[in-house]
């Protein structure tokens, strides 16, 4: 017998050699039907792989991400099988599952190309093969046999992948007539794949290296039910409608100009108001939490960035130094605020009594992002970080960390994001030379984050290789109204800059000590945050953020003056809005202002003027009937 421990901590005994499937069956028939794969002792495996020793196990179904990814990975193999049938001689590179579907990088036979026009016939072939209900069969093979197989087949990319693998760890998976080099796991049978949609075709370099040959990447998604595919496609339609680049233009929030330059957003009046309200709200929270607001210039001497280490790391790829009439003098547009804040720390000697010192700045920075990377407001070359640097003692790190997480949770909740995850971003253990700073400091920093995360009330995940080059981070991710996941701000522990800038404080022992620096930005940047907020809300911002909270709609010009009076009264209550006094029908005014996502439309005609009230119409909900102005004001204040 072996002991199997479940995620909830329960331990049960099973016969040695039981599979995840057997274990699922012992829980319920439904689970046995739906289980797709399992994580056994931290490794994702097939559901029918015998377990011979005590283990911890998590069962995966279509409901969780690992289950989905197993399903999609298997679909990638199914697509490969279809492609091989349709394009004999096609060569295969990588074919993994991702967060949202799968792809396969392939090289079509000489002289042939695959375009989106070919998708229907590939999809059809895939479904045809799926209906054969072929099992995915796992097989352990020797390196020599594996090499022989793919050399014979002429799959040079697979042969290359095999070179890096060790004998004894190599497995093949076969379904129907298609065999692939694959670590697995896979779903048991192709029959589960009921709906398939190929989404995109594009280029991708073999192994992500632009020196290598470019392969054709075909990506798609699949589902166990046709209905789920339909819902997914509807979600994509909705996402298109909410695209912040489209809404930004329609709602007149921000713009770009070819003349000003790529990636340099300009906030129009309504966008500026929105951004300012977000910033003011955060600033108030920060002041309450002991932050002090500061302002620093947009440029700094090149030397500042030589000291910080950023020149060596990013100098070549940055906006190049600004020259002055003076020989040899060079300034850089600031790509981050930390060096300025470090100098501010050094303004005078610091005592341990004034730590933690929390310097906050809505600091605008400039980074020369690659041309192909620019994207609306979410990836730009000039942006404003909701930045702050906390200088503290090593003992204070954990407490400061927890306080930052508190602010982030409160602020994001207020703005309407309730599904927040914290990602612990650590070094990639395989590439230690990518990072600067002492090994010892890295270990302390990584450990403080891990320790702090044990105490926070937030979902956490760990990601290796996602750390910044100078320190580990905690990244905040939100799930939006369409279920998409976005990365927002970060908290980063930094032992490196205090070294480089030789920051010190005098401790209770009357000796100098080195402070720790924590970088943090809950939104990340105002630009990126706004882009996510626009897509999350589809432009229907929370009432307190809406640039205009109401529009008064006079039914005819006779009521314009009365509306102006109402506007004054509402302004006295800090309720902001406009009168739509255009010479248009009421139907037209309603339509135009509904499309502008105005939260409340106040319609005023004969009846309302006589009664001294308004007829309320709520955005997206329609007519709510007539009420007095005072009643509207109290209703408004309740909604706020």
Partner RNA sequence: GCCGAUAUAGCUCAGUCUGGUAGAGCAGCUGAUUUGUAAUCAGCUGGUCGGCGGUUCGAAUCCGUCUAUCGGCUCCA
Catalytic residues: 338, 367, 385, 387, 389, 473, 519
Which residue in 73, 125, 275, 310 binds RNA (CB under 7 A)?
310
Q: How far apart are CA 126 and CA 124, in angstroms?
A: 5
Residue 104 contacts residue 94 (beta carbons within 8 Å): yes
Residue 42 touching RNA (CB under 7 A): no
Q: How far apart are CA 332 and CA 318, in angstroms?
A: 9
Which residue in 181, 282, 601, 627 binds RNA (CB under 7 A)?
601
Which residue in 187, 617, 632, 636 binds RNA (CB under 7 A)?
617
Q: How far apart are CA 358 and CA 435, in angstroms?
A: 26
Which residue in 591, 612, 630, 639 binds RNA (CB under 7 A)?
591
Residue 512 touching RNA (CB under 7 A): no
Q: End-to-end CA distance of the chain, in Å?
A: 61
Q: Which CB, 55 or 497, lies closer to RNA?
A: 497
| Residues in contact with RNA, shown as a per-residue x/- string from 535 to 574 under the rule CB under 7 A | --------------------xxxx----------------
| Residues in contact with RNA, shown as a per-residue x/- string from 184 to 203 under the rule CB under 7 A | ----------------x-xx
Residue 469 touching RNA (CB under 7 A): yes
Residue 369 touching RNA (CB under 7 A): yes
Q: Residues of 91-108 as b/e, b for ≥16 C-beta within 10 angstroms?
A: bbbbbebeeebbbbbbbb
Residue 121 touching RNA (CB under 7 A): no
Burial of 239 (0-12, 13-18, 19+ CB in 10 A): middle
Which residue in 5, 138, 143, 249 binds RNA (CB under 7 A)?
249
Residue 256 touching RNA (CB under 7 A): yes
Smallest distance from the beta carbon of 385 to RNA, in angstroms?
Answer: 9
Indicate the pairing of strand 299-301 with strand 330-333.
antiparallel
**Angle, alpha carbons 540-544-547 (nearest 5°):** 65
Binding piece for RNA, criterion CB under 7 A, among 226-234, 455-463, 507-515, 591-599? 591-599
Q: How far apart are CA 91 and CA 104, in angstroms?
A: 10
Smallest distance from the beta carbon of 536 to RNA, in angstroms?
Answer: 17
Q: Any idea of the CA torsion for 39, 45, 50, 54, to the nearest 10 degrees? A: -30
Smallest distance from the beta carbon of 600 to RNA, in angstroms?
Answer: 11
Q: Which CB, 249 or 270, lies closer to RNA?
A: 249
Phi, psi (degrees; rounded to nearest 5) at 592: -60, -40
Smallest distance from the beta carbon of 412 to RNA, in angstroms?
Answer: 20
Which residue in 33, 131, 323, 588 binds RNA (CB under 7 A)?
588
Which residue in 10, 169, 371, 431 binds RNA (CB under 7 A)?
371
Smallest distance from the beta carbon of 317 to RNA, in angstroms?
Answer: 6
Smallest distance from the beta carbon of 520 to RNA, in angstroms?
Answer: 11
* Helix H or strand E segment including 618: strand 613-618
> How far is the CA of 297 from the CAs of 88, 175, 264, 336, 634, in angstroms?
62, 62, 18, 11, 44
Which residue in 140, 234, 410, 584 binds RNA (CB under 7 A)?
584
Binding piece for RNA, criterion CB under 7 A, among 126-134, 306-314, 436-444, 446-454? 306-314
Long-range contacts of 62-70 (CB under 8 A, 24+ apart): 62/34, 62/36, 62/224, 65/99, 66/37, 66/39, 67/35, 67/36, 67/37, 68/97, 69/97, 69/98, 69/99, 70/36, 70/37, 70/44, 70/97, 70/185, 70/186, 70/187
Q: Which two tokens stand for residue 494?
A: 């930094």
Residue 590 touching RNA (CB under 7 A): yes
Smallest distance from the beta carbon of 591 to RNA, in angstroms?
Answer: 3
Q: How far apart are CA 490 and CA 474, in angstroms?
A: 5
Which residue in 21, 44, 221, 336 binds RNA (CB under 7 A)?
336
Q: How far apart are CA 299 and CA 297, in angstroms?
A: 6
Residue 468 touching RNA (CB under 7 A): yes
Residues that bind RNA (rule: CB under 7 A) add up to a total of 63
Residue 314 touching RNA (CB under 7 A): yes
Residue 103 contacts residue 220 (beta carbons within 8 Å): yes
Residue 363 touching RNA (CB under 7 A): no
Task: Give the footprint of RNA on this chain (CB under 7 A).
Answer: 200, 202-205, 208, 210, 214, 217, 245, 249, 256, 258, 261-263, 310, 313-314, 317-318, 335-336, 338, 367-376, 379, 468-469, 555-558, 583-588, 590-591, 594-595, 601, 603, 605-608, 615, 617, 620, 622-623, 626
């Amino acid at each position: 017998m072996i002991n199997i421990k479940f995620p909830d901590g329960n331990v049960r005994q099973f016969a040695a050699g039981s599979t995840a499937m057997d274990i699922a069956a012992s829980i319920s028939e439904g689970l046995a039907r739906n289980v797709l794969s399992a994580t056994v002792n931290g490794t994702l495996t097939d559901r029918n792989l015998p377990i011979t020793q005590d283990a911890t196990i998590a069962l995966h179904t279509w409901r969780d991400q690992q289950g989905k990814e197993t399903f999609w990975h298997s679909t990638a193999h199914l697509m490969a099988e279809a492609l091989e049938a349709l394009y004999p001689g096609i060569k295969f590179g990588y074919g993994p599952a991702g967060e949202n579907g799968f792809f396969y990088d392939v090289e079509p036979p000489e002289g042939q190309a695959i375009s989106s026009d070919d998708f229907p016939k590939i999809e059809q072939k895939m479904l045809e093969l799926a209906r054969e209900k072929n099992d995915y069969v796992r097989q352990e093979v020797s390196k020599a046999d594996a090499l022989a197989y793919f050399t014979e087949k002429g799959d040079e990319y697979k042969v290359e992948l095999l070179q890096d693998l060790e004998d004894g760890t190599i497995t093949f998976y076969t379904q129907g007539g298609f065999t692939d080099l694959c670590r697995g796991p896979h779903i048991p049978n192709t029959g589960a794949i009921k709906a398939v949609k190929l989404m995109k075709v594009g280029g991708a370099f073999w192994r992500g290296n632009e020196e290598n040959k470019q392969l054709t990447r075909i990506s798609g998604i699949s589902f166990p039910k046709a209905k789920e595919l339909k819902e997914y496609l509807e979600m994509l339609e909705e996402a298109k409608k909410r695209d912040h680049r489209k809404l930004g233009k329609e709602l007149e929030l921000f713009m770009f100009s070819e003349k000003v330059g790529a990636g340099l957003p300009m906030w129009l009046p309504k966008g500026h108001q929105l951004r300012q309200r977000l910033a003011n709200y955060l600033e108030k929270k920060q002041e309450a939490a002991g932050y002090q607001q500061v302002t620093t210039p947009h440029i700094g001497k090149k030397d500042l960035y030589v000291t910080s280490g950023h020149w060596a790391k990013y100098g070549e790829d940055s906006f190049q130094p600004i020259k002055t009439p003076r020989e040899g003098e060079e300034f850089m547009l600031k790509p981050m605020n930390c060096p300025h804040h470090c100098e501010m720390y050094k303004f005078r000697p610091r005592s341990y009594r004034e730590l933690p010192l929390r310097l906050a700045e809505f600091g605008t920075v400039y980074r020369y992002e690659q041309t192909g990377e620019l994207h609306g407001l979410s990836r730009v070359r000039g942006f404003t970080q909701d930045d702050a640097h906390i200088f503290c003692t090593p003992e204070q790190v954990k407490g400061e960390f927890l306080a930052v997480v508190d602010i982030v949770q409160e602020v994001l909740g207020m703005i309407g994001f309730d599904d927040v995850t914290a990602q612990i971003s650590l070094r990639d253990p395989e590439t230690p030379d990518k990072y600067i700073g002492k090994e010892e400091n890295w270990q302390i920093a990584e450990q403080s984050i891990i320790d702090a995360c044990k105490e926070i009330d937030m979902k956490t995940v760990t990601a290796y290789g996602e750390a910044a080059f100078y320190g580990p981070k905690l990244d905040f991710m939100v799930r939006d109204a369409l279920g998409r996941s976005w990365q927002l701000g970060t908290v980063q522990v930094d032992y490196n800059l205090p070294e480089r800038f030789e920051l010190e404080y005098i401790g209770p022992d009357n000796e100098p000590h080195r402070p720790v620096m924590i970088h943090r930005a809950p939104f990340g940047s105002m630009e990126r945050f706004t882009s996510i907020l626009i897509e999350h809300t589809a432009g229907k911002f929370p009432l307190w953020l809406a640039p205009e909270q109401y529009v008064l709609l006079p039914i005819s010009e006779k009521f314009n003056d009365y509306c102006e009076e109402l506007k004054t009264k509402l302004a006295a209550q800090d309720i902001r809005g406009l009168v739509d006094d255009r010479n248009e029908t009421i139907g037209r005014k309603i339509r135009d202002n509904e499309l502008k996502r105005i939260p409340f439309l106040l319609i005023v005609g004969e009846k309302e003027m006589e009664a001294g009230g308004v007829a309320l119409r709520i955005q997206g909900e329609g007519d709510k009937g007539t009420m007095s102005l005072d009643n509207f004001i109290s209703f408004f204040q309740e909604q706020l």
